[in-house]
Chain A
Amino acid sequence: MMMLNQILAIAQKDLKIFLKDPGALVLMFLQPLMFIVVMSYALASLFEPGEERIQLLAVNEDHGHQAAAILRQLDALDAFQGETAWQGQPLTRAAAEQLIVDGQRNLAIIFPPNFSRALEQDLATAQPITARILLIADPATPAQLTEPLLGTLRGLIERRLFTAMIPKGLDFVFAQLSPQTPAEQRQNFKAQAEQAVSNSLLGGDKPLVEVERITPAGMRVEQLPNTFQQNVPGYTIYGIFWIVSLLASSVLQERREGTFRRMLTAPLSRAVMLIGKLTPYYLINLAQLAIMLGASSLLFGMSLGYSPIGLIVVSLIAAASATGLGVLIAAIAHTEAQVGGLTILLLLTMSALGGCFVPRFLMPEWLRTLGLLTPQAWALEAYQDLLVRGYGLLEVLPKVGALAAFALAFFGIGVWRFRFE
C-alpha cells in the first residue's frame, strides 16, 4: 500500500509539473494537432478523390465534339476539375499559360482544332490527319501528379479512338469486299483494315493523336526538373528556419546567465550588441543555404538555374527572414519552454502551410491563401522560379519583396520588444 502511494505521489508530481509547462503542452498536444489539420487538408486531394479535386485548365479549340466528350469523361472521374473558362471568359491557350506563369494554376490541357477530325477521319485517306494534345505543366509540378494525368488522358483518348475508328474500319472492309472478291484479296483488305485501326489505337509507326507535356511560354526549362530540384528548395527552407530555435535559446541563455547584463556595463551600445548577436546566426543561415544547394548541385547534379545573382539575392533575403523570426521569438519568449513550444508549433505549421512538405497547389484554395502569410511560401516560390522554372532575378523580385517585408516585420517587432535583461 505504501509503495502504491509512493508511485502515485511521484506520478502525480510529474503530471503537475507537465501541466504547468506550456512548452511541453504545446509540444505534446498542439503541435501534432496543428500538423494533423494542415497536412490532412493539404493531402486531401491525393487521398480522397472528389473531396479536393485537382484543378486543370482546359482549352478546347476542337471544332468537333470529341474533345468535349473527353473533358466530360475526365470530370466524371472525380479526380480532376476541368476549368474551361476564367472569370466568365472562355479560356485561350495564352490565358491558360499566363495563369500558370502567375502561379494561379499548375496544369492546362490544350485540344487542337483538328482533334475531332483526326479521330473521325476516313481510314482510306492517303494523308492521315494527326493531332497533338498539349499538357502544359508548371515545371514545379511533381511527376507523381503529371504522370497519372498523362496516363488518364491517353486512356480516354484511346477509348474515343476505339469508338470512333471501329465503325470506320468496318465500313472500309465492307466497302472493299464484294462477293466477287477472291479469298486472297479479301484477306489482304482485312489485314489493311486491322493495320489502320491498330495504328490509330496503339500508336503504330505514327499515332494519329499524341499527348505531349510542355512548359508554359516564358519559362526557360531545357529538361524537366529532377527529384532534387523538386525537393531541395522545400526542405532547405524548412531547415534554415530552425535557426529560430538556436538564436532564441542563445538569447535566453545570455539573459539567464547574466552575460548580457555584464556586456551592458561595457562601453558598447545596445545596437552593437544586437547586431553582433545576430550576425553569426545570419551567417549560419547563409552557410546552410550554400551547403544544401551546393551539395545538391555537386553530388546529385541538380541544376542551379540560370541566375546566380537571383539565387544569391533570394538566399540573402530568405536568411534574413529566418533570422528575423528568431529575433521575434527571442523577444516574446521568456522561458526555454516557451521557446521550444513556440518554435516547434510555428515552424512545423508555417513550413507545412508554406508548401515545404506538400506542393501548395494540391491544397484547398483557403489553405493556399493562408500559406501566403508565411515567409516559407514566398521563399519556396522564389527558389522554384530560379531552379525549376528557369526565371531570372527580375521575375523573382516581387517574391523577394514579399520576403523582405516579412524580414522587416519580424526584425521591427522583434527589436522593438527585445529585452537584454
Chain B
Amino acid sequence: MIEINGLVKRYGDRLAVDHLSCSVRAGEVFGLLGPNGAGKTTTISILATLLPFDEGEVTIGGYDLRREAERVKPLIGLVPQELALYPTLSAWDNLAFFGRIYGLRGSRLRERIAAVLDLVGLRDRAGDAVRTFSGGMKRRLNLAAGLIHQPRVLFLDEPTVGVDPQSRNFIFEHVARLKAEGVSIIYTTHYMEEAERLCDRVAIMDAGRILALGTVKELLDLLGGGVIYAGLDAEALEALLPHVRSLPRVKAASLQDGRLKIEAHEVRTALLELIELSNAQHLPLRSLAVLEPNLESVFLHLTGKRLRD
C-alpha cells in the first residue's frame, strides 16, 4: 500500500528525514517509534501530502506522491497530534464539515457520521459542543474525523497523548478493528508499550533515520536476552572485560560511558555468572543495571539514549 524509497527531507542544513526506506502492506499496523525530534511527524506530514520532500520516491495506493498527490488524498486519513476540531461546533457538525470537504453529501454523509460516531462511542453526544467533551472524548472524535471518508491508509500521530486509560483502550480496540477491515495504519508513538501491543512491524527512528525495522520479536532479538550494565573501578573494568567475554551466556561485552555493557543470551543467568566472576577476581561491582528485553531497551541499546530523552 505504501512504498518509500530513499526519502529525504532537509530544513536548511539539517536532515529531518535521512534516506528513509520502508513499505507498509494493506491491513498492516506499522509503528514509527522514536523520541521527540526523531523525524516521525515529519515523515507522516510528507506521507499525508502536507510537506514536500527533497529526495526519494513514495507511492501510496500505487500513486506517486509527488506527481499524483490529488489522487493520493482521498485514500489517506490523518489523525494529528493536536485536536484538530472546532470546539464551539457539535460533534455532528465537526464530522459533517470534514465529510463535506471529502465530497460526502446527503444521506451518505449522514450514514457515515452516524457510523463513525457509533465507532467511537459518541452517538449520544452528537449534538453537544466539542468544548464540553473530556480530553478522551475529544481524542476519540479526532479519530472519527480522520475516518469519516473511509480512508485506506490512516496516519495516527501520537493519538494517545494526554488520554485517560479508558479512552486509550478504546483507541487500541479501534485500531485493531480498522486493521481487520484492511486499513493500513502508520502509528507514531514514543510509548513502547503501544508499539509492542498494536504494531505488526516497528521502525525505530532517531535523528531522521530508521535504526532498526522489523516485527517486535525481531527487534527484541537484537537485544538478545537483555543487557547488563556493570559499574566498576576504572582499573577493574579493563581487568574484568576479557573474563566477561568468555562467560557462556554473554553474547558481547564492551566498555560504554565508564561502565561494562554486557549483552546476554539469558540475562538472569548471565547476571549470576557476572557476580560470581567479580567475587572470584576480587573486583567488586559498584553498580548494576539490567535491561529487560523490550523496545525501550532496544532503543537504548541502539542509540545510547532513552526514548523520552
| Chain A residues in the interface with B (C-beta under 8 A) | 257-259, 261-268, 421
- Ranked nearest first, the 9 interchain pairs of A and B with the lowest CB-CB distance are A258-B84, A258-B82, A267-B73, A262-B84, A265-B78, A266-B101, A265-B48, A259-B84, A258-B80
Which residues of chain B are within 8 angstroms of A258 by Cβ–Cβ distance? Answer: 80-84
Number of A-B contacts (CB under 8 A): 47
Query: Which residues of B lie under 8 Å from residue A259 when comparing CB positions?
Result: 84-86
Residues from chain A with Cβ under 8 Å of B50 in the complex: 261, 264-265, 421
Q: Considering residues A261, A267, A268, A421, which has the most beta carbons from chain B within 10 angstroms of its beta carbon?
A: A267
* Listed residue (A257, A259, A265, A421) with the most chain B CB atoms within 10 angstroms of its CB: A265
Asked whether A262 lies within 8 Å of B103 as measured between CB atoms, the reply is no
List chain A residues, Cβ under 8 A from B101. Answer: 263, 266, 268
| B84-134 at interface with A (beta carbon < 8 Å) | 84-87, 98, 101-103
Given contacts A261-B50, A421-B50, contact A266 B84 (CB under 8 A): no
Q: In the assembly, what is the distance between CA of A267 and CA of B86, in Å? A: 20
Q: Report the Cα distance A266→B84, complex, angstroms.
A: 13
* Interface: B167 (CB within 8 A): no
Contacts of A421 in B (CB 8 A): 50
Give, as a whole number of angstroms, the nearest-CB distance from A252 to chain B. Answer: 14
User: CB-nearest residue of chain A relative to B87?
Assistant: A257
B84: chain A residues at CB < 8 Å are 257-259, 261-262
The verdict on A266 contacting B102 (CB below 8 Å), with A257-B85, A261-B50 known, is: yes
What is the minimal beta-carbon distance from A418 to any residue of chain B, in angstroms?
Answer: 16
Point out the residue from B74, B87, B145 that lies within 8 Å of A262, measured CB to CB: B145
Known: A262-B78, A262-B145, A421-B50. A267 touches B102 (CB 8 A): yes
A266 x B73 contact (CB < 8 A): yes
Residues of chain B lying within 8 A (CB to CB) of residue A264: 49-50
A262–B157 Cα gap in the complex (Å)? 12
Within 8 Å of chain A (Cβ to Cβ): is B70? yes
Would you call B85 and A265 a contact (CB within 8 A)? Answer: no
What is the chain A residue whose CB lies nearest that of B45? Answer: A261
Confirm or deny: B65 has a beta carbon within 8 angstroms of a beta carbon on chain A: no
Interchain nearest-CB distance for B191 vs A (Å): 21
Q: Cα distance A264–B84 when bound, in Å?
A: 12
Give every chain A residue within 8 A of B103 (Cβ-Cβ): 267
Q: Is B76 an interface residue (CB 8 A)?
A: yes
CA distance A265 to B65 in the complex (A): 12
Task: Give the distance to chain B from A262, nearest Cβ to Cβ, in Å.
Answer: 4
